[in-house]
């Protein structure tokens, strides 16, 4: 048996309420938390769900802001903050995927508002103290306890209407958090266990969702996996994969989850020579090298394969490679501009990860 590497583990203080129908406990959780006037946040497509929750809360619902936007633009946060102040809100309820959750975090970072999240996708960001924001075409991230939501209500019934394609991309986004957590510089045994269990749960759930999108057991399993994968992102640092996805999302406005789904196998192939021991459990889970296994799995469940299919132009590949080298960040394999450019070009074409 090999000796464990030295590590420091810090648990994150979030309350998780899990199970079908958990949304019915929203009022009780708001009362337990203490605030009395909640601003509900959502995208335009989730307005009806937010309205139904607001009606359930009655006078405790201060209003609804349905302008949440992908990649959390700072100008949208400014608009939401104005509404928060106008309606005299004292807390946030984010309803939806990572877009709504991100807006709630951005507000909380600025005014320390308590947050409750009801996820409708498998983003996992609701259990992390990480906030990504976009301004002037650049996406930056920060890590701060103030942005960690206090309560998460995981109700798989809220994901039943999530289209299969979005479910798949969102689930692969969650897997990306866990996969990079396995070789993180500050990895620890608890996070690694959560990562492998989260990936296992999603590997079982996503094909079942393709077969039957209304399979509540599969939806529950996917939400469970997303929670675990998100908790990995919350407790350890990320590396090249997340940097590339932030570059591609912030600079070229590519869809967040689809970008993760496409890029992850290529980054795992890039890092495999330097992180073979860390990735071996993932190799065993898929029965082949992790990069090849994940790419084959993604193809089997119908995930997008190429960056060109989600809006990236070939002429933008060089710019993306340059942007990926603009700031120092840790990665198990040294960052080499030409190699990263080649990685991105393979991802753009949809080639096998190599």
The number of helices, as runs of H, and strands, as runs of E, in the chain is 13, 8
**Do the Cβ atoms of 350 and 305 come closer than 8 Å?**
yes
Q: Residues 328-340: pLDDT tens digits?
A: 889 999 999 999 9
Q: Residues 260-315: pLDDT tens digits?
A: 999 999 999 999 999 999 999 999 999 999 999 999 999 999 999 999 999 999 99
CATH code, residues 15-159: 3.40.50.1970
Sign of CA dihedral 332, 281, 168, 132: negative
Domain locations in the chain as residue ranges: 15-159, 164-349
Give Dmax (Cα) for the chain: 60
CA 74, 77, 80 angle in degrees (round to 5)?
A: 160
- pTM over cut 0.85: yes
Produce one character per residue of 167-196: b if its CB has 16 or more CB atoms within 10 Å, e if not: bbbbbbbbbbbbbbbbbbeebbeebbebbb
Q: Residues 82-126: pLDDT tens digits?
A: 999 999 999 999 999 999 999 999 999 999 999 999 999 998 999
How far is it, in rounded angstroms, from Cα 30 to Cα 151? 9
> Which architecture does CATH list for 164-349?
Up-down Bundle (1.20)
């Amino acid at each position: 048996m090999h000796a464990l590497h030295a590590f420091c583990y810090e648990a994150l203080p979030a309350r998780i309420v899990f199970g079908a129908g958990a949304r019915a406990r929203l009022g009780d959780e708001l009362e337990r938390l203490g605030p009395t006037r909640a601003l509900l946040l959502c995208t335009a497509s989730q307005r009806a769900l937010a309205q139904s929750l607001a009606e359930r809360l009655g006078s405790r619902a201060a209003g609804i802001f349905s302008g949440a936007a992908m990649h959390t633009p700072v100008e949208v946060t400014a608009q939401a903050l104005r509404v928060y102040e106008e309606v005299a809100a004292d807390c946030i309820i984010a309803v939806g995927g990572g877009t709504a959750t991100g807006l709630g975090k951005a507000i909380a970072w600025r005014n320390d508002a308590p947050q409750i999240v009801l996820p409708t996708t498998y983003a996992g960001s609701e259990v992390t103290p990480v906030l990504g924001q976009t301004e002037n075409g650049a996406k930056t991230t920060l890590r701060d306890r103030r942005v960690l939501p206090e309560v998460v209500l995981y109700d798989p019934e809220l994901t039943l209407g999530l289209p299969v394609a979005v479910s798949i991309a969102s689930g692969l986004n969650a897997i990306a958090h866990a996969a990079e957590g396995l070789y993180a510089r500050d990895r620890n045994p608890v996070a690694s266990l959560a990562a492998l269990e989260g990936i296992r749960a999603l590997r079982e759930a996503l094909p079942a969702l393709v077969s039957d999108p209304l399979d509540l057991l599969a939806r529950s399993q996917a939400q469970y996996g997303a929670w675990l994968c998100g908790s990995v992102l919350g407790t350890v640092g990320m590396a090249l994969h997340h940097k590339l996805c932030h570059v591609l999302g912030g600079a070229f406005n590519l869809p967040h989850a689809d970008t993760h789904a496409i890029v992850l196998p290529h980054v795992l192939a890039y890092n495999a020579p330097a992180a073979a021991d860390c990735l071996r459990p993932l190799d065993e889970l898929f029965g082949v090298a992790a990069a090849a296994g994940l790419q084959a799995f993604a193809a089997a469940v119908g995930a997008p394969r190429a960056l060109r299919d989600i809006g990236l132009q070939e002429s933008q590949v060089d710019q993306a490679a340059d942007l990926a080298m603009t700031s120092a960040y840790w990665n198990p394999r040294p960052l080499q501009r030409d190699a990263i450019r080649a990685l991105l070009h393979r991802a753009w074409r949809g080639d096998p990860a190599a």
